Structure formats: C-alpha cells, structure tokens
Amino acid sequence: MSRLAILGSGLSFVFLFFSATFAAENENAEEFQYQQLKRDWWQIFPDGNRNAGGPIFFNYALNISENFAEFQTFNKLFCPVSGSLINPNSIPEFVYINEEGNSRKICGQIYRCCWPCSCDVMKHVTAEKFQVKFDDKNNEIFLLKVKNPCLKENFPDEVTRSYFCKGDTVNLDNVHFSSEKITIGMLHNAHVCSSDEITRIDDHKITGEFCPIRNSTPISEIKGGMGDIFIKMAQ
C-alpha cells in the first residue's frame, strides 16, 4: 500500500473519530439540558400547567442560556405549540411559515410533540427575523410569533393566563414580546424557502396531506394535538 493510501486511511479515521465524538457530545448536552428542564419544571410553571407553554419555555431558555449553542439546544426540547417536553435527539419536522410583514415563506425545522402541532404552526404562526446576543455576538435567527393574546375575550380556560398577561398587557417577566406579538419558540436552520423546498413540503405525508385537512377544519371540530387550545391563543 502506498504512503498516500495510508495517509488517506489515517485521515478518514481521524475524521470519523472526531465526528463520533462531536455527535456524542451533542447527545450528552441535549440529555443534560433536558434533565435541567425537568428539574426546573415547577420554577417555570409554578402551578404545573404547561398548556400552550412554548412562550414560557422560550423566555426561560433566553434568560438562562450561557451561550448560543445552549440556547439552540433548549429550543429543541419543548414543543412551541403545546409546551410538552420533547425527548433529546428527536427528529424535527421540516415546514414553511409566512414571514412577518411580507409574503415570503421561511423554511426550517420545528421540534414538536405530535404532527398536529406542525400544522398549527404552519397556519397560525409567523416567522420574524431577529438577533439574539451571546458572548457579545449577535446571532440571527427566526422567531415563531403569534398575536398578543392578552386582549382576547376567548382566552382559553385551559391555559394559565397570568403566565402570559398582566391584565390586558403582556407579562414581560415571562414572555418575549416584539413586533406586537409574543414569541413561542424558534425555527431551526431557518432560511427563505426555495421553490423545490416548498414543493417537497407540499408533497410530504404530514405537511402536504394531513395539514391541509386539519387547517381547513372548523375550530369547533379540531381534534388531536392541543385541539383548539393553541388556536384560540394564536388567532
């Protein structure tokens, strides 16, 4: 065997070793932060009610994360729609969402507890370009936004209103608020969609077949996921 072949084999081994090490470190980080969320559950939700609790989790992650990597990981571990915890290293859904303030579609990944939450995000949520600052560096992300729920007459009884609102105003101690909307989470690996990506999403079993059915169903007949709870919050 030539020295070049030996060198190539050696480089391949080194690459695989560091790739495996990096993957293991990511898995360990997700597990550690997942346990942290479980440990801090009663601090995050003092009455234990996490219904539609994505905004509360997001604000917790924004305030407690020491760096951007931690912040991103925390946002993989809760469903922005339901507030359910999500197991570490879960597979996300690839979706598109209308961008705040224009007609562009933003593609990216959401981590959700069940497929109806993907549909609810695609219909009732907008994506807002935003910068979060860690270690004196601005990191550009797309936030998931819903309308301010604090003026609603039909605020869902299943949700702890005081988490979100102080009277008719947003509770800024618990919720991130910008562009007159509250943030429920972030869209991972977000970018302006290509036409091919839109086609792929429209052809997908869940986002292309199940979601149009769910999203055209009257709210009184909505079943699965959070049912009508999140939709009442987001509309």
Tell me: the pLDDT tens digits for 35-73?
999 999 999 999 999 999 999 999 999 999 999 999 999
Q: For the whole model, what pTM was predicted?
A: 0.87
**Backbone Cα Rg of the chain:** 20
Mean pLDDT of 73-79: 98
Number of helices (H) and strands (E), helices first, in the chain? 9, 8
Q: How far apart are CA 179 and CA 199, in angstroms?
A: 30
Residue 50 is predicted with a pLDDT of 96
Q: What is the pLDDT of residue 18?
A: 40
Half-sphere exposure of 180 (CA within 13 A, CB side): 3
Residues forming a β-bridge with 93: 110
Number of domains observed in the structure of the chain: 1
Confidence label for 15 from pLDDT (cuts 50, 70 and 90) = very low
Tell me what the mean pLDDT of segment 213-230 comes to: 90
Query: How long, in residues, is the chain?
Result: 235
Question: Between these two residues, 16 and 121, which has the higher pLDDT value?
Answer: 121
pLDDT score of 8: 54
Domain residues for 198?
3-234
Other C-beta atoms closer than 10 Å to the C-beta of 92 total 16
**Contacts of 12-15 spanning 24+ positions with Cβ under 8 A:** none
Contact 144, 183 (CB under 8 A): yes
